[in-house]
Amino acid sequence: MMVDDPDEALLAGNMIDVHGAEAATVARGNARSAALAGQPAQAKSWIRVLGIIQRQRHARPVADASDLRPADRPTGDAQPDLPSLLSRSIRR
């Protein structure tokens, strides 16, 4: 298994924070642009960042109403508090 470069891992985490679900799309576009510009080293770096983003995305649990215990499910028009839903999902 290849060890991730700390700078690339930090970039991937920052991209997820900024772009959310679109982080992989942005990284893929950056890799493509670098390749088309004749910058193979930058393209390879973006491909590694894309791989980190994809691994992190699949490793993170996704909270939705089906993950909640019946007492935690919102009723009526109440919107669930996403940070608390995520923290409950992660603790399980």
Residue 92 domain flag: yes
Are residues 55 and 11 part of one domain? Answer: yes
Task: Look up the pTM and report it.
Answer: 0.61
DSSP of 30-82: HHHHHHHTT-HHHHHHHHHHHHHHHHHHHHS----GGGS-GGGS--TTPPP-H
CA distances from 10 to 2, 41, 49 (A): 16, 18, 9
CA distance 72 to 62: 16
Are residues 31 and 51 part of one domain? Answer: yes
Place 22 in a pLDDT band, splitting at 50, 70 and 90. very high
Residue 1 domain flag: no
CA distance 88 to 29: 34
Provide the domain limits for residue 48: 6-59
Total domain count, the chain: 2
Are residues 53 and 22 part of one domain? Answer: yes
Are residues 53 and 68 part of one domain? Answer: no
Are residues 39 and 13 part of one domain? Answer: yes
- Taking only the tens place, the pLDDT of each residue in 35-51 is 999 999 999 999 999 99
Residue 71 domain flag: yes
